[in-house]
Amino acid sequence: MYSLEGKRVYVAGHRGMVGSAIVRRLADKQCVVLTSTREDADLRDQAATRRWLESQRPDVVVVAAAKVGGILANATYPADFLYDNLMIEANLIEASHRVGVGKLLFLGSSCIYPKFAPQPIVESALLTGSLEPTNEWYAIAKIAGIKLAEAYRAQHGCDFISAMPTNLYGPGDNFDLNSSHVLPALMRKAHEAKQAGASEIVIWGTGTPRREFLHADDCADACVHLIEQYSDAEHVNVGSGEDVTIYELAQLVCEIVGFQGEIVRDETKPDGTPRKLMSADKIRGLGWKPRIELREGIAATYRWFLEHKADAGR
């Protein structure tokens, strides 16, 4: 058991959906939460990152900072997804070792696993096959992050651990149709179609790929649980243990938003990996399970969208 009480906890990436959820989750932990802006330290800059950590002296570092995006953004900006993520994680992990950080949590993604990994995907499936081409750049950066954390543990005895969240959604998500993940994209499309009285929304691909979704608040809860309860080299999957097809997801989002038109498929757009349901056995064995059911989580996220984003871009 690692106690967070009285600790200085640096959440890198606190403006993102997961980072902000982790900051919320830490509110009752009697720790000091540290955050940084791009002006404090550009985390792609090694010297700036080191200076920031030396000045703040955190006990705990959460690597939730990353360049993220959906299937199209990954394919459009491969250099940014590989370079930015490699730099951010390498700079944070190395500087954390230098300043003697007692616990570090690195956050990856379920796309680290082979495209055709047996389902549900167990942690040991890492590096057993080829990656899905639409997100191999991001995946390779995240695999390097896992291995860095593992290497610093092996060589320097650092208590650095890694969590692999599944596809996440929730308040603070990106709702831009060109760069977002599927769930916020469908929410925006359904909302705008309803507002405009349109007869259909268009979804990308065949609608047959299966995805597992987890609310960002559940992910944040799992992250804090792992910081407190887990200390080992192998990464830990963080998921709900259930998946749906993209078409089923679109139906659910339309129902919650109140859009009754047709769902049309644009098969010129990529499907990506056919399925990536992760095994949740390991994290359940560590005493954690999600609380937010998909329908309830989407409804809460839609309320957030209505309050914060519904008018964006008009």
Q: Which residues are catalytic?
A: 138
Residue reference for tokens 């080992």: 232
Residue whose CB is less far from ligand GFB, 158 or 250? 250
Q: What is the DSSP letter of 29?
A: S
Using CB under 6 A, pick the residue from 44, 50, 115, 211 that binds ligand GFB: 211
Rounded CA separation 239/289 (Å): 9
Among 58, 205, 239, 297, binds ligand GFB (CB under 6 A): 205
204 belongs to the binding site for ligand GFB (CB under 6 A): yes
Distance set, CA 220 to CA 3, 232, 239 (Å) = 16, 19, 12
Residue 181 lies near ligand GFB (rule: CB under 6 A): yes
- Check residue 246 for interaction with ligand GFB (CB under 6 A): yes
Concatenating the DSSP letter of every residue in 195-264 gives HHT-SEEEEES-S--EEEEEEHHHHHHHHHHHHHH---SS-EEE--S-EEEHHHHHHHHHHHHT--SEEE
Footprint of ligand GFB on 14-53 (CB under 6 A): none
CA–CA distance, 253 with 229 (Å, rounded to integer): 35
61 or 201, CB closer to ligand GFB? 201
For the bound state, the minimum distance from the C-beta of residue 292 to ligand GFB, rounded and expressed in Å, comes to 17
Nearer to ligand GFB, 228 or 248 (CB): 248
**What does each C-alpha distance from 164 to 16, 53, 177, 219 come to in angstroms?**
16, 24, 25, 10
Does 135 bind ligand GFB (CB under 6 A)? Our answer is yes
Binding flag, residue 182, ligand GFB (CB under 6 A)? yes
Owner of token pair 């640096």 = 10
Among 120, 272, 290, 297, contact with ligand GFB (rule: CB under 6 A): 272
Number of chain residues interacting with ligand GFB (CB under 6 A) = 24
> Which residues make beta-bridge pairs with 3?
none
Contacts with ligand GFB by CB under 6 A lie at 70-72, 74, 109, 111, 134-135, 138, 167, 180-182, 185, 203-205, 209, 211, 246, 269-272
